[in-house]
Amino acid sequence: MSFAVEVDGVSKLYGSGQGLVRALVDASLRIAPGEFISLIGPSGCGKSTLLRLIADLASPSRGTIRVNGKSPREARLAREFGMVFQSPVLYEWRTVLRNVLLPLEVMGVPAAEARDKARAMLNLVGLSAFENHHPWQLSGGMQQRVAIARALVFHPPLLMMDEPFGALDELTRERLNNELLNLWQEQEKSTVLFVTHSIQEAVFLSSHVVVMSPRPGRIERIVDIDLPRPRTAEMRSQPRFFELVSAVRQALREDGSEEAAHGG
């Protein structure tokens, strides 16, 4: 079986000597195509670093990464990544529609075709009425929906999301969780790598939750989430959901006590 993402003994070090930061140490991970993987852990655990290494926004100090059998750089040049960051990173001089058009423009998609695709995508995230608005006229949740539309509009095989809902309030976050899953289930399922610090969010969305720990950043444990799909909002109040949340929390706490023992 071929993997969507293969991470093999990857380390990322910054600085040197006294100032050496071991952002990520000896991480190994295999992700099958179509899986929804969350990376969770306290700040400094290397979850964003791992995402950026896979997306070829940084290069590993040691180890190898393969994306659909290619190097991250080859995969990036083949336009296999859709990126969503914690801040929406909308271009404020562009309207909502033209923000969603941005990747298609860069990729040289003919204007009429691009416009149809962008409009269809905006319709899916429920923002058709706002296509001529500028980003500053939208709420934070709406801005992040535009960012998701922009990431999905060219159907990238790998969707990378770096704490996309981290700056939103709890209610907006839960609603966008549902919307994201609907989008993902409607389209041909891409592989999703999702960085978060919310346990509920990770459990609700994912097929596997990768628990990471800091100083040095490393992969601690992988918790399999066996909730059936399609996931519904009601599942958040079912016993199995709480069991899985506890399991992830337990895994995170173990790291914490270990860290305390090392640090003490």
Partner 1 sequence: MKDLTEGMDVSAGAMPARRGSTRALISVGVVLVLAGCWEAVKALFDIPIYKLPHIHQIFAEFFHESADGQWMLGILLENAAVTAGEAAIGFLFGGIAGFGLALAFSRSSLIERGLLPYVIASQTVPILAIAPMVVVWLGTSWVSKAVIATYLTFFPVTIHVLRGLKSVDPDAVALLESYAATPAQIFFKLRLPACLPYLFTALRVSATASVIGAIVGELPVGSQSGMGVVIINAAQYYNWRPVNLWGAILISALIGIAFYAVVALMERFIVSWKPRTEGEATA
- Residues making contact with partner 1 (CB under 8 A): 55-57, 76-79, 81-83, 85, 87, 89, 91-95, 102-103, 105-107, 134, 136
Q: The tokens of 10 are what?
A: 């990857």
Helices (H), 16-89: 47-54, 72-77
| Cβ at position 171, least distance to partner 1 in Å | 26
Toward partner 1, which CB reaches closer, 90 or 211? Answer: 90
| Cβ at position 226, least distance to partner 1 in Å | 32
Q: Say if residue 21 is exposed, middle or buried (CB neighbours under 10 Å; 0-12, 13-18, 19+).
A: middle
How far apart CA 196 and CA 175 sit, in angstroms, is 16
| Cβ at position 103, least distance to partner 1 in Å | 5
Of 21, 62, 66, the residue nearest 45 (C-alpha): 21
What torsion do the CA atoms of 4, 9, 14, 15 make, to the nearest 10 degrees? -160
Toward partner 1, which CB reaches closer, 82 or 217? Answer: 82
Toward partner 1, which CB reaches closer, 93 or 110? Answer: 93
User: Is the preceding omega at residue 164 within 30 degrees of 0, hence cis?
Assistant: no
| Cβ at position 198, least distance to partner 1 in Å | 20
| Cβ at position 56, least distance to partner 1 in Å | 8
How far apart CA 37 and CA 35 sit, in angstroms, is 6
User: Is the preceding omega at residue 230 within 30 degrees of 0, hence cis?
Assistant: yes
Toward partner 1, which CB reaches closer, 117 or 231? Answer: 117
Toward partner 1, which CB reaches closer, 87 or 182? Answer: 87
